[in-house]
Chain A
Amino acid sequence: AQSVTQLGSHVSVSEGALVLLRCNYSSSVPPYLFWYVQYPNQGLQLLLKYTTGATLVKGINGFEAEFKKSETSFHLTKPSAHMSDAAEYFCAVRRSQGGSEKLVFGKGTKLTVNP
């Protein structure tokens, strides 16, 4: 069954530094992969997704992620962190099972940006 693992429940970076949030997946079929962000006291919103095609996916707010099949990874990066990036980030994979489909989410990584 498809699943995701997010390494690091908390990540702290300085403003202007590189942001790297790690996500590894397991899937027996070509995966569809997603990153969602949850700002404090708000619902989740989609940052970016990979379904097919180009393995480097660009999302909103300067984030991007690269699908690496050999490493079963879909890490999220941003070259320069901004204070407004402080939020919780969730990686997700589409699970297809018995004619049903759903998204399976990781436990989340809380990003803190220090001035």
Chain B
Amino acid sequence: GAGVSQSPSNKVTEKGKDVELRCDPISGHTALYWYRQRLGQGLEFLIYFQGNSAPDKSGLPSDRFSAERTGESVSTLTIQRTQQEDSAVYLCASSPTRVWETQYFGPGTRLLVL
């Protein structure tokens, strides 16, 4: 079956612009996660959805970052007024229900802020 998909695969933007990153989880997966991976760094947790509610937003680095999810489907991560330090690969993952189950990762969106 289809895996987790993310779009766009690459995004180049100018400092100060807003960007929207999209994640399509595996059908039926209720849990969805966003991570950020900076060059040479591990994965940094951003936010976790259970259904369309976000019990944990603690990883969002600033109020410029927000995310929403429609039902148990698509999620969008929005970064407003992008800064150069936002340049990273943004990864999305989904799992059937809970955190300790296998997380299935998408290929990521590579964001470059000039």
Contact = CB atoms under 8 A, between A and B. Distances in A.
A43 B56 contact: no
B42 A108 contact: yes
A103 B102 contact: no
Q: Is the interface of B mostly helix, strand, loop or mixed?
A: loop
Given A43-B91, A90-B43, A107-B42, A100 B103 contact: no
Nearest to B110: A41
Given A101-B100, A103-B45, A43 B33 contact: no
* 8 residue pairs, one from A and one from B, having the closest CB atoms: A43-B105, A100-B56, A107-B42, A101-B99, A105-B43, A44-B105, A105-B42, A32-B100
Contacts of B4: 43
A56 B89 CA distance: 33
A63 B77 CA distance: 34
B42 A102 contact: no
- Chain A, interface size category, equals 20 to 34
Interface of A: 9, 32, 36, 41-46, 49, 51, 90, 92, 94, 99-108
A51 B108 CA distance: 27
Interface in B85-110: 91, 93, 98-100, 102-108
Given A43-B105, A44-B105, A105-B43, A51 B100 contact: yes
Contacts of B1: none
